[in-house]
Amino acid sequence: MVTKSSKLYLSACACLAAVLVFGAGCRAGYVMHAAVGQIRLVSSAVPIEDALAGSDLSASQKDRLALVSKIKEFGEKELGLKETSSYQTIYLGSDQPPLYTLAAAPKDRLTLVTWWFPVVGRMPYLGFFDLEKAREQSRRLMEKDLDVVIGRADAYSTLGWFRDPLTLNLIHGSEPDLVETVFHEMTHTTLYLKGQGAFNEGLAQIIGKRGALQFLEKTRGLSHPLTLEAKANLEDERLFASFLATVFEALEQIYRSSLSLEEKLVKREALFLHTLEAFEVLKDRLKTQTFVHFGRIPLNNAYIMALGLYHSHYPLFEAVLERHGGSIREMLLFFQDLSGKEGDLLAAAGKWLRE
């Protein structure tokens, strides 16, 4: 992982299962691009054992790579995450995050444009292995007067349909980042609800962060610097989620008003400026580098909403986790049971907490 802050440009991961396996009804060009990119990574990946025995990686990279099997085992045995054949290989062809991600939103509404695919339903972003293809799609969407943001995904998941490889960027970063990302992706494979992007990413977000803390507490100790870093990541997540909630509320007030579109856009630009100023104050309270790149690309609805997929509902998921005694396994069982009874799991979880 280059930096955890790369998540702020859009997503921690992207789901490609639908277009790779069931492309019917999707644009042929996009399907072919996704399939070719996935095949390239999978076919060029090497077993982790071979990478550890070879000379392509530094000693520190090998140390992190050797941890992956332990991370997976902890996730499966301690957290209740699904066992898969993913992350048993690594792609050494590039040290960059593997995927560009694109999200779009109307200029006067806090809602993301979605794209429908079989299996996963409506997705709030698209994933591209090639930047120019992402830019081409961005230009088409901007011609429709939409806000657009292009980001980089640290990892991606095919939800167990393929043997997803690790990528070099994941072992360039810190150990807590690696643990969090692996648990995040394992969560998607364990429980992924069709068309519920905010639920899927919010669940993976909390399991990634809380799971990383539990793993490091057990393997490194309560007072180890890496454990303290994971704990600081949690504290920053809470701070940023609260900050983002105030931005959402202020934007909603503007968009629900009776102002004309032109007046709303003027108001929102003033709010975006105030948001950046407020974040400069918030930065003094942050303990990690996770969120330092907020606002380094122009703020718009697509950018804010893409962040919201991961961070807006963190307090809700944390409340559900605490109701289950901090047990990720029990929380997962709860949501798996709830998924068979309810439609919108975010709304159902909020109702359950109130009752």
pLDDT digits (tens, 9 = 90+) for 308-336: 999 999 999 999 999 999 999 999 999 99
d(CA 236, CA 326): 19
How would you class 83 by CB atoms within 10 Å of its CB: exposed for 0-12, middle for 13-18, buried for 19 or more? Answer: middle
pLDDT tens digits, 57-94: 999 899 999 999 999 999 999 999 999 999 999 988 88
> In terms of DSSP bridges, do strands 126-128 and 99-106 run parallel, antiparallel, or are they unpaired?
antiparallel
Helix axes 225-256, 261-282, angle to 10 degrees: 160
* Mean of the per-residue pLDDT values of the chain: 88
- Is pLDDT above 90 for 267? yes
- To 10 degrees, what angle do helices 225-256 and 314-323 make? 130
Q: What is the end-to-end Cα distance of the chain in Å, rounded?
A: 40
- What stretch of H or E contains 310? helix 301-311
- List the beta strands (DSSP E) in 5-98: 46-47, 89-91
Domain that holds residue 200: 4-354
**Nearest to 265, CA basis, from 147, 149, 148:** 147
**Confidence (pLDDT) at 33:** 65
Q: What is the pLDDT of residues 88-130, one digit of tens each?
A: 999 888 877 778 899 999 999 999 999 887 777 788 988 888 8
| pLDDT score, position 27 | 56
Name the band, by pLDDT with cuts 50, 70 and 90, for residue 30.
low
351 Cβ neighbours under 8 A, 6+ residues apart = none
Q: Which among 215, 189, 229 has a CA at the least distance from the CA of 79?
A: 215
Residue keyed to tokens 């996935």: 38
For the record, the structure tokens of 137 come out as 């799609």
Span 216-242, average pLDDT: 97
Whether 186 shows a pLDDT value over 50: the answer reads: yes
Structure-block tokens of residue 211:
């799971």
Left (φ > 0), alpha (ψ -120 to 50) or beta: where does 156 sit? beta
Query: Which of 131, 113, 173, 116 has its CA nearest to residue 37?
Result: 131
Pull the structure tokens for residue 120.
């996963």
Name the amino acid, one letter, at 302.
Answer: A
Encoding tokens for residue 271? 């709010």
Reduce the DSSP state of residue 293 to 3 states and report it.
coil
Closest CA to 318 of 203, 221, 230: 203
Which strands, in side-by-side order, build the sheet including 99-106? 126-128, 99-106, 146-153
pLDDT at residue 25, rounded to an integer: 42
Neighbours of 290 (CB within 10 A): 22
Compute the Cα dihedral for 20, 95, 219, 85 and give only its sign.
positive
pLDDT of residue 28: 56
Could you tell me which of 334, 326, 81 has the C-alpha nearest to residue 188? 81
Question: DSSP secondary-structure letter at 30?
Answer: H
Q: Give the pTM.
A: 0.89
Q: Considering its fold, how many domains does the chain have in total?
A: 1
